[in-house]
Amino acid sequence: MVDLVTNDEPRDNLFLVALKSPSFVIGLVLTLMFSIGAVVSFFWTPFDVAVLDILNRLKCPPAQNWVASLQIPSAENNWFASWACQSAPEYLFGTDHFGRDMFSMILVGARTSIAVAFIAVGIGIGVGVPLGLAAAAKTGSIIDELIMRSNDLVLAFPALLIAILITAVYGASATNAIIAIGIFNIPVFARLTRGAALSLWTREFVLAARVAGKGPVLISIEHILPNIMNLLIVQSTIQFSLGILAEAGLSYVGLGVQPPIPSWGRMLADAQTMISFAPHMALLPGIAIILTVLGLNLMGDGLRDVFDPKLRRSRT
């Protein structure tokens, strides 16, 4: 228990260790799938999502027709006959009410979700971690109290409420959604950093650094931060998935990304009244959100297992 996490095992083996965990692998695959989709959408999508093709609206995925044509040998009636719909082979995921290709929309939507969540987590880390380090370095002081109590204040407000507040004052836009989600991330990282840093401040190697004459800023950067990095990485993946959910939620109620930029949340909102005759419009973005969030959470869990020596020992 005395040894440090980083000394426990050489770093380059961590990834290989993680790959032994099935949940991490599933999470990684899902996350990579959507990340690659998002990157690809910058260069290529099957159709241009900015172009509306009203004539080809509400085409269902060909798979739905395939199901409709299934014949169950023992059954008298074709069970799925009512699933029959208009589809076109070039629209793999069907089209929406404006005739935009759903597959392209999902790809570009992934880009939107990932961009918003990524920047929001960046804000959380960029502001929250220094605050947490400062609070831990000056524990018990007025600075500590000030930082942590303002944290409590922000945490007391639900993220959506902050978002509504910001968008009500400054108008709905992607930028404001990012700021709102980012603000929500700050106390999470500040709290985590302070808690982890506090326990490190009592350790011998920090004491040694202090004896050597290093100031609190230098100790925080050189000794504390590297030792809490793994915690931050795990928390980032969790916050990243929460960010994607928050973006979808804000866009769903119309406070997030504005049209014509595709967003999974707004695709869901658009699909709402059409669910009875175009279920694919709601199902596809819904599944995309679920898989991305699930992937990030599984990956976060897997990473925590790897980084946390206690958990790893109990497993082996």
Partner 1 sequence: MRKPSYLALVGTALLLATSLTPAMAAQTDITVGMVLEPPNLDPTAGAAAAIDEVVYANVFEGLTRFNSSGEVIPALAQSWDISEDGLVYTFNLPSGVTFHDGTTFDAEDVKFSLDRARAEDSTNAKKNIFEGIDTVEALDANTVRITLTKPDGLFLFQMAKGDAVIVAPESAADNATNPIGTGPFKFDDWVQGDRVELSKYEGYWGNPVALEQVTFEFIADPTAAFAAMMAEDVDTFPNFPAPETLAQLDADPRFSVVVGATEGETILSTNNANPPLDDVRVREAIAHAIDRQAIIDGAMFGYGTPIGTHFNPSNPNYIDLTGQSDYDPDKSRALLAEAGITDLTLRLKLPPPSYARRGGEVIAAQLRAVGIETEVTNVEWAQWLDEVYKQRDYDLTIVSHTEPFDIGIYVRDDYYFNYSSDEMVAIMNELNDTTDPAARTLLIHKAQQHIADEYVNGYLFQLAKTGVANSKINGLWENSPTQANDMTGVSWSD
Residues that bind partner 1 (CB under 8 A): 50-52, 54, 57, 97-99, 171-172, 254, 258-260, 272-274, 276-277
Q: What angle do CA 55, 60, 61 make, to 5 degrees?
A: 125
Residue 13 has, within 13 A of its CA and on its CB side, a CA count of 6
Q: What are phi and psi for residue 52, nearest 5 degrees?
A: -95, 140
Q: What's the closest the beta carbon of residue 57 comes to partner 1, in angstroms?
A: 7
Which of 123/255 has CB closer to partner 1?
255
CA dihedral 149, 151, 156, 161 (to 10 degrees): 140
Shortest distance in whole angstroms from residue 259 CB to partner 1: 5
Dig out the tokens for 139 from the structure: 């524990």
| Least distance to partner 1, CB of residue 270, Å | 8
Q: Compute the distance between CA of residue 19 and CA of residue 308 in angstroms, rounded to an integer.
A: 15
Provide, rounded to whole angstroms, the least separation between the CB of residue 104 and partner 1. 14
Give the nearest distance from C-beta 146 to partner 1 in angstroms.
Answer: 37
Burial of residue 150 (number of CB atoms within 10 Å: 0-12, 13-18, 19+): middle
Residue 117: alpha-carbon gap to chain centroid: 6
Is there a contact between 286 and 113 (Cβ–Cβ < 8 Å)?
no
Least distance (Å) from partner 1 to the CB of residue 54?
4
What does the angle CA 3 – CA 27 – CA 7 come to, to the nearest 5 degrees?
A: 10
Output the smallest distance, CB 273 to partner 1, in A.
5
Per-residue buried b or exposed e for 155-179, using 16+ beta carbons within 10 Å of the residue's own CB = eeeebbebbbebbeeeebebebbbb
What is the amino acid identity at position 245?
Answer: L
Q: Which is nearer to partner 1, 276 or 316 (CB)?
A: 276
Q: Which two tokens stand for residue 190?
A: 């500040």
The least distance separating partner 1 from the CB of residue 97, rounded to whole angstroms, comes to 7
DSSP letter at 9 equals S
The smaller minimum CB distance to partner 1, of residues 6 and 272, is found at 272
Nearer to partner 1, 141 or 272 (CB): 272
CA distance 105 to 7: 46
Which one, 35 or 173, has the nearer CB to partner 1? Answer: 173
Given the complex with partner 1, which of 133 and 172 has the nearer CB atom?
A: 172
Nearer to partner 1, 78 or 258 (CB): 258
By beta-carbon proximity to partner 1, the closer residue of 45 and 297 is 45
Q: Which two tokens stand for residue 297?
A: 């959470």
What is the residue whose two structure tokens read 């930082």?
A: 147
Tell me which residue has tokens 């695709």.
267
Task: Tally the residues of the chain.
Answer: 316
